[in-house]
A and B are shown apart, each in its own frame.
Chain A
Amino acid sequence: MNLVTAINDGLRVALESDPTSCVFGEDVAFGGVFRATTGLREVFGGKRVFNTPLSEQGIAGFAIGMAAVGSTAIAEIQFADYIFPAFDQLVNEAAKYRYRSGNEFNVGKLLVRAPYGAVGHGGHYHSQSPEAYFAHTAGLKVVIPSTPYEAKGLLLASIRDPNPVIFFEPKALYRSSVEDVPVGDYEIPLSKARIVKEGKDITIIGYGAQIQVLTEAAKVAEEQLGITCEIIDLRTIQPWDKTTVFASVKKTGRLIISHEAPRNCGFAAEVAASVQESCFPYLEAPIQRVCGYDTPFPLIFEKFYLPDKFKNLEAIRQTIQYDFSDQ
């Protein structure tokens, strides 16, 4: 399956296994603009798989209300770039629902899916990676898969997690990433990072579509520098798996964090600060962040903007060759 087929299959399993679950959003009835909901309406009916009016705050607010009375709400925001009208509902309502009511009520049965990230020609509003905005909000979980197998297992775990989850899907991989995916029901636990590749000289952390970029950069670096890189797929942005990350950095002594989103207050800043606090004696070089620039996501300059393989390769080289006595 490719990544979007895996998502579609995950939604099918979710609808089959939970009679209260509904899938809805803009244009999901005919299969979705990325075909993520293809065929679901035919199987599960128009009351469980349906179009909404074109309003993101409405989609999020409606979904929160469904979850508040015990139904499973699987809402789609067409592009992560358009999640901001729903920001108030997600940050002020969904995230705080359990806490503010003293656990009288909760919206744990809420999941919001949204395609995110660069796609080659998405410009300002079809390319964004807004995960850091939500990582700053206690009460929300934020999950980003990196392959089709990961996507289905993490999606099912996110739908069934008793907390509101925002699930960002790397749309660049919807069709390009293909692997074997079980047709049955399986889950991948949240807040558990995945070691994509073990290594001993440097830790490289990313998530989503960036894992592919980092894997390529590491391969070249290993050939050129005679080192081994440990690549970690964070999978869950909030609450994130510090245990796995700290153990890896304590082993390698070096760390690079890379994401498409802008650097300033991006999630890499949180990872870097936490590692610095907890692994200070182990660090042999400054932690590097390889991120998007602090600009809006540009159209014709996308290739220059992205934290691509070569920028990561150069960061690995500098980190490996870092010498305190030169400073």
Chain B
Amino acid sequence: MAAMEDSSKVVTHFKDALIVPNRPEHVVPTYRILEDGKLNTPDKVEISDEEVIRCYKGMVTLNEMDSKLYDIQRQGLISFYMTSYGEEAIHYGSAAALDMGDVVFAQYREVGVLMYRGFTVQNVVDQCYSNIRDLGKGRQMPIHYGSKELNYQTISSTLGTQIPNAAGAGYAMKMQGKPNCAVCYFGDGAASEGDFHAALNFAATLGSATIFICRNNKWAISTPTRDQYRGDAIAGRGVAYGMHTIRVDGNDFFAIYNATKEARRIAVEEGRPVLIETMTYRVGHHSTSDDFTRYREQKEVSPWQKDNPITRLRLWLENQGLWDNNKNDQLKKEARESVIAAMKEAEVLQKPKISDLFTDVYDKETDQLRSDREKLFQHLAKYPNQYPIDIHLPES
């Protein structure tokens, strides 16, 4: 894409200048190729059947895991949870098109990307339980996953902050001569943050090898997109930043896969950023602290519960003779059992040792932190029954 020239069109009538361009040809179209269980496209979809089945299994497992972990939050076994209902294809369709060397910066509703990369149900459950196997040492809320081994930068709650981080990472990776890119996920609400604007403008002007993937699920907690923006959603902005942009049906696994694959080629080979807006619908509550019936009606949600990315992909698999009811029942059963087994394992594990409260603030413990740590342990020695010391791993 050539850099935008300064606008040279001259108008002589105030009337013309005030017309807001809102005609259909100005709206970025939506790319969809999976229709009624068939691929309707002249484009190639270069993905093996085995890979599609792997992703489908991942999507179903994620779905079952969400359902169980949502329930156990309601029972008070974990403090918080967020489901991915309706957005599973975005996770797996994009993850399958990436390379393990690509660095992922996510928001919080993208655990499928991490699971595609090898994060297990057990890893997820351990993080949610803040036990000794949580790589984050129990310091962050549930669902704030991260893994160096899987190239998935640790989630933070602050919305939109990871978007300029991904712009910088994509620039650095290009400078380092790596055949990889940064990939950044965020929602339509986060795209209203100043960080989104800064990030896309920086990535475009500086030439970052970064793919920005927006999950436009139409709701930011209780705020519908009509209260979030009035332009051509998020894709319209990518065009304005002078960036390769595509809008994709977010419930179409193959469309997301194809778009991400081409975006990755542009980012890595041409060293330029790409924006992908995936149009979907947040079928579940925002989080376990939210009840969506207070701001939207079930009749709005119902159609999306039927037209969901999992059933759409399943129909394709069945048409190919790759899937059937028995396999599906077996898969769901295995997924549920894996979550229950993981919970049993997670709940008996100890919490990280108390001194981990003080480590990793800096690379080394400062004098002040050493003093604070020593004072805490002197205090605990005096008041041992006032604190849940026993649930933590003893100090070595």
Taking Cβ atoms with an 8 Å cutoff, the residues of A that contact B are 20, 22, 47-48, 50, 52-53, 55, 57-58, 60-71, 73, 85, 88-89, 92-93, 96-106, 108, 138-139, 141, 162-163, 191, 239, 242-243
Say which one of B131-139, B211-219, B275-283 lies at the interface with A: B131-139
Contacting pair A88 B158 (CB below 8 A): yes
A102-B168 contact given A53-B202, A69-B173, A89-B161, CB 8 Å threshold: no
Cβ-defined partner of B136 (8 Å) among A88, A104, A108, A242: A104
- Please encode chain B, from 138 to 163, with 1 for each CB lying within 8 Å of some chain A CB and 0 for all others: 01100010111000011010100101
Contacting pair B172 A69 (CB below 8 A): yes
Say which one of B29-37, B49-57, B115-123, B191-199 lies at the interface with A: B191-199
Provide the residues of chain B in CB contact with A70, threshold 8 Å. 172, 176
Contacting pair A71 B198 (CB below 8 A): no
The answer for the CA separation of A88 and B160 in the assembled complex, in Å, is: 11
Min distance, Cβ A164 to any Cβ of chain B, angstroms: 9
Provide the residues of chain A in CB contact with B368, threshold 8 Å. 239, 242
The answer for the CA separation of A88 and B190 in the assembled complex, in Å, is: 14
Enumerate the 3 nearest inter-chain pairs by beta-carbon distance, A residue then B residue, closest first: A61-B164, A65-B168, A58-B198
A73-B360 contact given A61-B198, A93-B158, A100-B154, CB 8 Å threshold: no
Contacting pair B169 A57 (CB below 8 A): no
Contacting pair B363 A163 (CB below 8 A): yes
Residue of B at shortest CB range from A62? B168
B175 at the interface (CB under 8 A from A): yes
Min distance, Cβ A219 to any Cβ of chain B, angstroms: 33
Provide the residues of chain A in CB contact with B360, threshold 8 Å. 98-99, 102-103
The answer for the CA separation of A150 and B164 in the assembled complex, in Å, is: 33
Min distance, Cβ A50 to any Cβ of chain B, angstroms: 7
B103 at the interface (CB under 8 A from A): yes
Min distance, Cβ A146 to any Cβ of chain B, angstroms: 22
Min distance, Cβ B162 to any Cβ of chain A, angstroms: 8
The answer for the CA separation of A106 and B166 in the assembled complex, in Å, is: 14
A93-B156 contact given A20-B175, A65-B168, A68-B169, CB 8 Å threshold: yes
Contacting pair A58 B164 (CB below 8 A): yes
A66-B172 contact given A53-B198, A239-B366, CB 8 Å threshold: yes
B383 at the interface (CB under 8 A from A): no
Contacting pair A61 B163 (CB below 8 A): yes
Min distance, Cβ A139 to any Cβ of chain B, angstroms: 5
B171 at the interface (CB under 8 A from A): yes
Provide the residues of chain A in CB contact with B359, threshold 8 Å. 103
Contacting pair B165 A85 (CB below 8 A): no
Provide the residues of chain B in CB contact with A53, threshold 8 Å. 198, 201-202, 205
B295 at the interface (CB under 8 A from A): no
Min distance, Cβ A55 to any Cβ of chain B, angstroms: 4
Min distance, Cβ B355 to any Cβ of chain A, angstroms: 13
The answer for the CA separation of A150 and B143 in the assembled complex, in Å, is: 45
Min distance, Cβ B142 to any Cβ of chain A, angstroms: 13
Min distance, Cβ A208 to any Cβ of chain B, angstroms: 22
The answer for the CA separation of A60 and B363 in the assembled complex, in Å, is: 20
Interface residues on B, range: 35 or more
B361 at the interface (CB under 8 A from A): yes
Residue of A at shortest CB range from B137? A102
B128 at the interface (CB under 8 A from A): no
The answer for the CA separation of A211 and B311 in the assembled complex, in Å, is: 70
Contacting pair B154 A92 (CB below 8 A): no
5 A–B contacts, CB within 8 A, in A order: A55-B198, A58-B198, A61-B165, A65-B165, A98-B361
The answer for the CA separation of A93 and B137 in the assembled complex, in Å, is: 17
Contacting pair B156 A100 (CB below 8 A): yes
Contacting pair B173 A57 (CB below 8 A): no
Contacting pair B139 A20 (CB below 8 A): no
Residue of B at shortest CB range from A242? B367
A89-B164 contact given A20-B175, A57-B198, A99-B139, CB 8 Å threshold: yes
Min distance, Cβ B330 to any Cβ of chain A, angstroms: 35
Provide the residues of chain A in CB contact with B144, threshold 8 Å. 100
A61-B161 contact given A53-B198, A99-B139, A104-B147, CB 8 Å threshold: yes
A71-B135 contact given A64-B165, A85-B194, A242-B367, CB 8 Å threshold: no
The answer for the CA separation of A100 and B158 in the assembled complex, in Å, is: 12
Residue of B at shortest CB range from A240? B368
Residue of A at shortest CB range from B178? A69
Contacting pair B168 A73 (CB below 8 A): yes
Contacting pair A65 B166 (CB below 8 A): yes
Contacting pair A62 B361 (CB below 8 A): no
Min distance, Cβ B173 to any Cβ of chain A, angstroms: 6
Provide the residues of chain B in CB contact with A73, threshold 8 Å. 168, 172
B362 at the interface (CB under 8 A from A): yes
Contacting pair A65 B169 (CB below 8 A): yes
- Please encode chain B, from 359 to 382, with 1 for each CB lying within 8 Å of some chain A CB and 0 for all others: 111110011100000000000000
The answer for the CA separation of A44 and B167 in the assembled complex, in Å, is: 22
The answer for the CA separation of A13 and B165 in the assembled complex, in Å, is: 26
Cβ-defined partner of A105 (8 Å) among B148, B202, B361, B363: B148
Provide the residues of chain B in CB contact with A20, threshold 8 Å. 172, 175-176
The answer for the CA separation of A191 and B362 in the assembled complex, in Å, is: 13
B248 at the interface (CB under 8 A from A): no
Min distance, Cβ A91 to any Cβ of chain B, angstroms: 10
A98-B366 contact given A61-B163, A65-B172, A89-B164, CB 8 Å threshold: no
Contacting pair A63 B168 (CB below 8 A): yes
Provide the residues of chain A in CB contact with B165, threshold 8 Å. 61-62, 64-65, 68, 93
